Amino acid sequence: MDLQVYKTSLLTALGLEGLVHIWGAAGSGKSLLAVALASDVSKDSHVEWINNDAKKSFVSHLKKNITATGGRIENVTVTLTESRSELLSLINNLPLTLKDTSLIIIDPITRVLDMAREDPTLWGREIIEDVLPTLTGIVFQNNVDIIIISESRMMEDTTTQAVHHNSISKWVDHDLCLTRHMNATQSQVLRKSDDGFQELAVMKLDSNGLIEVTPRLSLLKRSRVENELAW
């Protein structure tokens, strides 16, 4: 019997839906993974990208990968915020601006934190009490996927941890950590679960500067063989 061949979206291939948290050390490829996902979604739907750290290098990657993968540049809206209050306002008003949008990216989400508070334990008040409940509600009520990217910090034991990771992980549907060893040509996309970390995919830039994401088939549950599983 001949096997039927199917193509699927990158989000579906990775088994990602709902509220997705991406974190990892600087340079591990967090924004590049978001670029790959946004480029793929732009083929058929609108993407809302909210950038909060004044770093615009992702824009050139986004344009290049959208064009190369057959996406539509006009389907992606990029907003560069200038202040913490502007970011909070955008998040609170998202439900009013989601027509035809199926993916929202907030990079990084940790810029909602008020670092001016004297007590560091209160830095996460906004993200815990306001932002995460709002984003969870948007996912549930509007049938959209949301990717939030966290800045990370080095811990005393030399491991890297997302800022307020424990609080964020309680709200998200998927918790992804990106790692890349020094001088390595690719990043690992690891999914955190109760059993620890599992490799979900590998990601690299090809010779043309295009992002390739290859899901690990052993972690995916499918009833049919699919082709073109590298994006």
For residue range 35-90, list pLDDT tens digits in order: 999 999 999 999 999 999 988 889 999 999 999 999 999 999 999 999 989 999 99
In a domain, 147, yes or no: yes
- The domain of 168 spans 10-219
Average pLDDT over every residue of 181-194: 88
Give the residue from 70, 63, 64 showing the smallest Cα distance to 9: 70
Average pLDDT over every residue of 101-123: 81
What pLDDT does 224 receive?
Answer: 39
In a domain, 178, yes or no: yes
In a domain, 231, yes or no: no
In a domain, 225, yes or no: no
Domain count, the chain: 1
Domain with 172 in it: what CATH number? 3.40.50.300
What pLDDT does 99 receive?
Answer: 82
What pLDDT does 36 receive?
Answer: 97
Going by C-beta distance under 8 Å and a sequence separation of 6 or more, which residues neighbour residue 28? 178, 179, 180, 187
> When comparing pLDDT for 153 and 59, which is higher?
59
Least confident of 116-130, 167-181, 205-219: 116-130
In a domain, 150, yes or no: yes
In a domain, 227, yes or no: no
Residues 23, 30 contacting (CB under 8 angstroms): yes
